[in-house]
């Protein structure tokens, strides 16, 4: 499948897609040229590029400083739009403090378990202690019994409490309503279960989903290499999509 830069919108996950996953969320390494790559893509695609992540906006702003493309945080709860994007999309979700306190009380003392509190979601990482997953899941199930407007979402070595109706597919559909995304074929690139909603949204909108393990066997470095080829296209050339 050939990809023409003038015809697509790109929606990119961050961890596991653009950068390698680390044992702790705060230990990731961002390649020096990643923001430059996003800027080149922004220019070549006429602005139709966005990073959609489960991370909080403070993380995205720190990891991708002066990013020239929209940053979508917490699976679509928060949008940060750089100059040149004329529409406005505000936050609509919030974690109840009582729920956060309940999870901290149930899991905060477990060795190797990291509780990541965000504005709209609450993520519990157990990559450093995978044997704790049953304990984490049981505690989160007790939480949603008390706060049924939330659901448990699985991720790589993590479980997350997330408001029902909040996912990366919702973020894609919201962005696709506006220029410069509107009227293009959307492509979502991701590596995790949480990216499947974004992939499904793109498929339903006539686009495509690409999964890092299957479509980019080399991981994030292969994704970035392919994106550089897209960014370097001279109109109206096409780039060959990974098989």
Q: 208: domain CATH number?
A: 3.40.50.1000
On whether both 58 and 177 belong to a single domain, the answer is yes
Task: Single out the residue of 173, 175, 169 nearest to residue 190, CA to CA.
Answer: 169
Among 143, 163, 183, the domain-final residue is 163
CA separation for the pair 70, 49 (Å, rounded): 7
Q: Where is 221: in which H helix or E strand?
A: helix 220-231
CB-CB contact of 65 with 39 (8 Å): no
Whether 13 is catalytic is yes
How much is the pLDDT for 117? 93
CB-CB contact of 10 with 189 (8 Å): yes
How much is the pLDDT for 96? 93
On whether both 110 and 36 belong to a single domain, the answer is no
CB-CB contact of 190 with 199 (8 Å): yes
How much is the pLDDT for 88? 72
On whether both 39 and 141 belong to a single domain, the answer is no
Give 117-161 pLDDT, tens digit per residue.
Answer: 998 999 999 999 999 999 999 999 999 999 999 999 998 899 999
On whether both 129 and 200 belong to a single domain, the answer is no
CA separation for the pair 191, 30 (Å, rounded): 17
Catalytic residue (one of 13, 167, 195, 197): 13
CA separation for the pair 154, 19 (Å, rounded): 20
In the chain, % helix, strand, coil (3-state, to 5) comes to: 35, 20, 40
How much is the pLDDT for 155? 87
Parts of the chain with a pLDDT under 50? 1
On whether both 130 and 58 belong to a single domain, the answer is no
Count of domains for the chain: 2
How much is the pLDDT for 226? 95
**What sign has the CA pseudo-torsion 214, 170, 126, 112?**
positive
On whether both 147 and 198 belong to a single domain, the answer is no
How much is the pLDDT for 156? 85
Q: Range of 133's domain?
A: 97-163
Residues across the chain: 243
On whether both 202 and 155 belong to a single domain, the answer is no
On whether both 202 and 87 belong to a single domain, the answer is yes
**Residue 46: strand, helix, or coil:** coil
How much is the pLDDT for 190? 97
Give 34-60 pLDDT, tens digit per residue.
Answer: 999 999 999 999 999 999 999 999 999
On whether both 80 and 170 belong to a single domain, the answer is yes
Ramachandran angles phi, psi of 134, nearest 5°: -60, -35
How much is the pLDDT for 86? 77
Residues 6+ apart with CB under 8 A from 129: 110, 111, 112, 113
The conformational region for residue 29 under phi > 0 = left, psi -120 to 50 = alpha, else beta, is: beta
How much is the pLDDT for 47? 96
């Amino acid at each position: 499948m050939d990809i023409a830069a003038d015809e697509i919108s790109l929606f990119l996950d961050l961890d596991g897609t653009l950068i390698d996953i680390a044992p702790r969320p705060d230990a990731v390494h961002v390649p020096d040229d990643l923001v430059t790559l996003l800027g080149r893509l922004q220019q070549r695609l006429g602005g139709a590029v966005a990073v959609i992540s489960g991370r909080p906006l403070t993380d995205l702003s720190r990891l991708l400083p002066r990013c020239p493309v929209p940053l979508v945080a917490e699976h679509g709860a928060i949008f940060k739009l750089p100059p040149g994007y004329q529409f406005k999309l505000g936050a609509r979700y919030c974690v109840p403090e009582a729920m956060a306190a309940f999870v901290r009380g149930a899991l905060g003392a477990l060795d190797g378990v990291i509780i990541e509190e965000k504005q709209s979601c609450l993520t519990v990482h157990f990559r450093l202690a995978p044997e704790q997953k049953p304990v984490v899941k049981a505690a989160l199930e007790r939480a949603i019994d008390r706060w049924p407007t939330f659901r448990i979402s699985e991720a790589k070595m993590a479980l997350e409490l997330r408001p029902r109706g909040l996912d990366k597919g919702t973020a894609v559909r919201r962005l696709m309503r506006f220029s410069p995304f509107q009227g293009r074929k959307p492509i979502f690139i991701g590596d995790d279960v949480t990216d499947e909603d974004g992939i499904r949204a793109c498929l339903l909108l006539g686009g495509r989903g690409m999964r890092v393990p299957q479509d980019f066997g080399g991981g994030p470095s292969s994704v970035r290499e392919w994106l550089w080829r897209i960014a370097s296209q001279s109109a109206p050339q096409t780039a060959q999509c990974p098989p």
